[in-house]
Structure 1
Amino acid sequence: MQRRAVTVYVALLLVVGAAAGGLVATADSPEVSFDDPEFEGGAGDSFEHGGQTYTVADVTETVEEGGHGAETVSLSATVEWEETVEESAEWANDSTVTYEENDWRVVIEGEDPNAVTLRKVLDRQAILENDSAADNETIDRDGEEFVVVTDEDDDATLVPADEYFPTPEERRIEEGETIVYDGHDATVTNVSASAALLEWEATQTMSSELTPQSQVTLGGTNFVAIFPDSETVVLSSDIDSFEAQQAEIDQFEQRMSGLTRVAWIIGATVLMLIAFAFLPSRY
């Protein structure tokens, strides 16, 4: 092959390769953006949708070290909101429950009750220990429980436990009554022979994590999230626009990938032509 011809071919290929490489190097990759998003802000900012207030709790940038000094940067955000949920508790008959910071035994009487009785659980051990005249333990005689009480003359007397210990406090709660239970206004909605049912409403903090191009449903509406920078998140319900822009980005990346392959092929072809040009001729 004549070196002059090779020079011409190489020059033409270099022009084409340079054009392809220049386009790859200078082309700006399109990015998803919205003209009128429902929300754009950072950590601590809020927005309303469907009568509900949503707050961006945080926007986080995470940098992970890779091989050969490479770094992978990922962005995420957390959006939070308050929801009212229904909660309940069941007081089983003859069980022990905590109410007003005390332990109570649940007493339900009758086959068709309309109320529940709470009988305070006495700390009998503490009562005995606080009485210097009484033994710290009760005793059983003929199937009956007694407290041993010693008088000033060191004479011991057996006092029936039912007489010694005070009558426990009782609280009667009617079906349909509202009480303060576990910090909530709870209503006794049903009382049966086996248990009493309490129901109340509570506020619960809900959350959802956002990542670039992820979708989240808030108040029945689908939103897509984008991150213009490491401190800002944008939410838009224009899913059609997002998908159209994403299709354009995919098409752009395919074109850039094709141009990159063209540049590499041209570079390899140029090297081959130069190598062939310097091969010794047999003639």
Structure 2
Amino acid sequence: MQRRAAAIYVVFFVLVAAVAFSLTTVAQEPSVSVDGQNYSQGDTISAAGTEWTVNVNDGEGNLSTVNESARFTASIANNSSLLFVNGEYRPAPNGSGGGAGTGTGSPSPSTTGTPGTIGTSVSTGEGANNDSATRFRVVIANATPSNGSAGNASGNATNVTSFTLRQQFETSARLREDPSVADVPLTGENGTQYVRYRNGSTQPLDEYLPEPEVRNVSVGDSFPYKNNSTTVESVNTSGATLAWEGRLTRSQDFEEGSNVTLGGTTYVAQFPTNSTVTLSQNVSGYQAEQAAVTQFNNRILGLWGVVIISLFAAILIVALAYMPVRG
């Protein structure tokens, strides 16, 4: 009687598993298909006066556009340091008075991105160990506005139109290279630094060092900065602004289901094939169809759970029915 009841339960669970499995085989997954324009590798899209190039490869891609005359700016702070090497200025290494030449790409009229190869190939501090590099300190006089006030809230003064580049010397290196003096300068009671000669005599450090080179730069002057044809755009008491034109490349990556914005319009990307992308404005429709696919897959997983649990229950009942009984 015990084994007969077990056989009935086994048949029941096997039947449940079979029905669940048959449902998984006949169920059809809903498709995701929205109306839109199809694009292949190398196609172009024009949006709000900007032409984008489509790049598609293996089910993903990007849109790219190039502005050959984008506008960029950089700032150099008062009292910061610059290196002059190979006929151009570069920011000095970190820790040497820094703050010089922080680039801020600002293409016209209103685009975003990062500068291209023009003007950005030189890294900060390059040339610091070059014997031909000359270090200059940016000096901007605290000019007084013509109306006698102390300047506006931002620190700008109306009559500041230029700044000075004053040569700086690597004092420690210069002393080490001179065998007639000690490697380290002395500091007097009044704070004045002295050079001590090997014969015991001393000389003020300012008198020992050569006369520093001084260069004056005004608004509108050409300023060779980091391999750019740069112009000094403005000067105030806190620093100077440099401006130049260069190449700006922008790109937007996309994959299946990701959004792309062109000219203020949002599109959703779908890949009918690995080498073709469809851009559709029906973003909400795509999301609804994608949600239906997700729900379908969840139900299929539930049916597979029923198959596995039912078969496991049938095997367990058979095992229990044939266990030996004591007595």
The answer to whether TM tops 0.5 is yes
Extract unaligned runs of 5+ from structure 2.
1-21, 84-88, 91-126, 128-133, 145-158, 300-327
After superposition, residues 78-117 of structure 1 pair within 5 angstroms as: 78-82=62-66, 84=70, 86-92=72-78, 94-98=79-83, 99-100=89-90, 101=127, 102-109=134-141, 110-111=143-144, 112-117=159-164
Extract unaligned runs of 5+ from structure 1.
1-20, 60-74, 258-283
SS of structure 2 residue aligned to 1:180: strand
Kindly indicate whether residue 51 of structure 2 is the aligned counterpart of residue 52 of structure 1: yes
- Give CA-to-partner distance per residue, 1:34-90, whole Å, 9 cap, x none: 6853x223xxx453424434352754xxxxxxxxxxxxxxx5434444464643314
- How far off is 1:108 after superposition? 1.5
Kindly indicate whether residue 88 of structure 2 is the aligned counterpart of residue 40 of structure 1: no
- How far off is 1:197 after superposition? 2.4
Match of 1:124 among 148, 171, 175: 171
Match of 1:226 among 223, 247, 270: 270
- Give me the whole-angstrom Cα distance separating, in 2, the residues matched to 1:162 and 1:241: 71
Match of 1:159 among 203, 211, 214: 203
Match of 2:258 among 192, 214, 219: 214
- How far off is 1:27 after superposition? 7.1
Structure with the higher strand share, 1 or 2 = 1
- Give me the whole-angstrom Cα distance separating, in 2, the residues matched to 1:213 and 1:141: 72
TM-score by length of 2: 0.50
Identify which range, 79-88 or 176-185, moves more after superposition.
Answer: 79-88
- Give me the whole-angstrom Cα distance separating, in 2, the residues matched to 1:179 and 1:57: 41
Amino acid at match of 1:91: A
Q: Is the 8 A contact 2:45 2:51 kept in 1?
A: yes
After superposition, residues 3-14 of structure 1 pair within 5 angstroms as: none
Pick closer, same or farther for the CA change 1:46–1:90 going to 2, 3 Å.
farther
Pick closer, same or farther for the CA change 1:103–1:56 going to 2, 3 Å.
farther
- Give me the whole-angstrom Cα distance separating, in 2, the residues matched to 1:107 and 1:88: 17
Pick closer, same or farther for the CA change 1:136–1:242 going to 2, 3 Å.
closer
Amino acid at match of 1:32: S
For this pair of structures, how many residues does the alignment match?
Answer: 210
SS of structure 2 residue aligned to 1:156: coil
Q: Is the 8 A contact 2:66 2:250 kept in 1?
A: yes
Amino acid at match of 1:156: G
The corresponding residue for 1:70 is none
Kindly indicate whether residue 119 of structure 2 is the aligned counterpart of residue 77 of structure 1: no
Q: Give the share of equivalent positions with the same residue, in percent.
A: 22
SS of structure 1 residue aligned to 2:172: helix
Amino acid at match of 1:54: T
After superposition, residues 106-255 of structure 1 pair within 5 angstroms as: 106-109=138-141, 110-111=143-144, 112-141=159-188, 143=190, 144-150=192-198, 155-201=199-245, 203-229=247-273, 231-236=274-279, 239=281, 243=285
- How far off is 1:126 after superposition? 1.1
The RMSD of aligned alpha carbons is 4.1
After superposition, residues 14-25 of structure 1 pair within 5 angstroms as: 25=26
- How far off is 1:130 after superposition? 0.9
- Give me the whole-angstrom Cα distance separating, in 1, the residues matched to 2:168 and 2:233: 24
Amino acid at match of 2:40: E
- Give CA-to-partner distance per residue, 1:12-44, whole Å, 9 cap, x none: xxxxxxxxx99x94979655376853x223xxx
SS of structure 2 residue aligned to 1:129: helix
Amino acid at match of 1:134: V
Pick closer, same or farther for the CA change 1:235–1:30 going to 2, 3 Å.
closer
